[in-house]
Amino acid sequence: MNQAKLIKPILICICLLGALLVPVHRLDASSRETIQYALPRLVKIFGAGGVKNLYGYSTGFLVSPEGHIATIWSPVLDTDQLSVVLHDGRRYEAEVLGAEPHLDLAIIKLKSERDLNLPYFNYEEKATAGAGTRILGFSNMFRVATGDEPVSVLHGVIEARTDLPRRRGAFELSYTGDVYVVDAITNNPGAAGGVIMTYDGKLLGMIGKQVRNAKTNTWVNYSLPIDVLSKSIRQIVTGKFESSEDQNEPEPSIVERYKPIDFGLVMVPDVLFRTPAFIDTVLPGSQVAQAGLKPDDLVVFVNDELIKSCKTLKSELGKLEAGDTVRLVVRRENQLVAVELQVPPEKKIKE
């Protein structure tokens, strides 16, 4: 009887312990569980390159049980002998299924006769996260993972999700949308095509190529958000791909319709790399004269775009369309003065 009494609590206890061991739902997962979940879903890719600054290796992540892998669109894929090594050392030949160069995205597929049934990421969840969110970065960086070793893991936080690259020339990137900038040094040789995830297991994005931020002249650690990539991944995997490259209108050639003089502004001679946009003379009777701008005013904003130099002033004014209202902010002594002007009708260019 006594024995039976003792067995019961022990049984209950074992049951409770058992309940603890059942895999928890990933969204409540800890970083450790997230790492265990992610590593089998990442692959090492080996292909072309290996000379100068071109690395012959990169990273990819499985997006289907049949062996579809999303990765970075890079020269590594430009070969007939593309091979992929899984976390457990299994090696497969692979082929490029499709690519979306605008997103730096490529989908490759493992060549296998058999049903693979591999673990994979659900890219359709389209998770997003803000600054300060902890992340884990997974990649084949520096090719330190060899053979059956899984890829490397870094930790950090999201510094910002930002549209900075949209500004022309700020990054040497073809992609022009939002990115996650992170404080972990994720963008290493071979890391492109890896993933960043939240600690609790959400797939956030694909690690991008190594690029410098031309504004700060520093290397930037960024990832392409999965919510941006997911549509193209699905389309390529399902074979219903329409490249946005075809749909995209050709990059509008930059016609500089207007010059400062069209508004009545004569700027100081543009002699330096960054000559500040100081007004030299204001044409009498011109729009800017009527609006009250004066010589020695420094133009600092055109429609909220910071004017860093005579060059940026020219390009910002050049973009305007006839009839637009343009807001100029100048710095006079220690004050900011804002004026609004109507963009004059475009002059006919004489051939």
Partner 1 sequence: MRRHLILSLLLFWIVCGLGNSPLPAQPPASDLESLEERAFKQAAALMNPSIVRIETVGGQDRVGKLITGTGPTSGVVVSRDGLIISSAFNFIGKPSSILVTLPDGRRFPAVVVATDHLRMLTLLKIEADNLPIPTAVPEKDLQVGMWSIALGRTFELDQPSISVGIVSALERIWGKAIQTDAKISPINYGGPLVDIQGRLMGILVPLSPGATGETAGVEWYDSGIGFAIPMTDVLKVIPRLNTGKDLHPGLLGITLSGKGDLSTEMNLDRVRYGSPAQEAGLKAGDTLIKLNDKPVALHSEVKSVLMSLYAGDTVSLTVTREGAKEPLTFKATLTEKLVPFESGFLGILPVREAQNQTTPGVGVRYVIPDSAAQKAGVKAKDQILEFNQQKVTSAEMLAFLVNHLRPEDQASLLISRDEKPVKLDVKLQKTPDAVPAEIPTQAIPSRTAQENKTQKIKAGHYKEKLPGSDSSYWAYVPENYHPDYEYGLMVWIHPPGNTMESTIFNEWKSICEQRGIIIVGPTAEDVIRWNRDETEFVEAVVKSMQQRYDIDPTRIFLLSHADGADFAFDLAFKYRELFRGVAVTEGSLKSRPPETDPDYPLSLYFALNAHNPLNQLLQPRLDLIREMNYPTVFQLIKNDQQPGEYPEKPFLEEIGRWADSLDRI
Contacting positions for partner 1 (CB under 8 A): 5, 8-10, 12-13, 16-17, 24, 28-33, 130-134, 156-160, 162, 164, 181, 183, 185, 199-200, 213, 215-219, 221, 272-277, 298, 300-301, 306-309, 329, 331, 334-336
CB of 327 to partner 1, least distance (A): 12
Q: What is the DSSP string of 200-235?
A: TS-EEEEE---EEETTTTEEE-EEEEHHHHHHHHHH
d(CA 167, CA 318): 16
**The residue type at 138:** F
In terms of phi and psi (left: phi > 0; alpha: psi -120 to 50; beta: otherwise), the region of 234 is alpha
CB of 40 to partner 1, least distance (A): 20
Q: Which residues pair with 197 in a beta bridge?
A: 136, 203
By C-beta, is 257 or 308 nearer to partner 1?
308
CB of 311 to partner 1, least distance (A): 11
How far from chain centre, in Å, is Cα 254? 25
By C-beta, is 6 or 54 nearer to partner 1?
6
By C-beta, is 166 or 347 nearer to partner 1?
166
By C-beta, is 100 or 316 nearer to partner 1?
316
DSSP state of 113: S
- Tally DSSP H helices, then E strands, for the chain: 6, 20
CB of 159 to partner 1, least distance (A): 4
Which segments within 234-274 are labelled E, that is strand? 265-267
By C-beta, is 28 or 249 nearer to partner 1?
28
CB of 95 to partner 1, least distance (A): 37
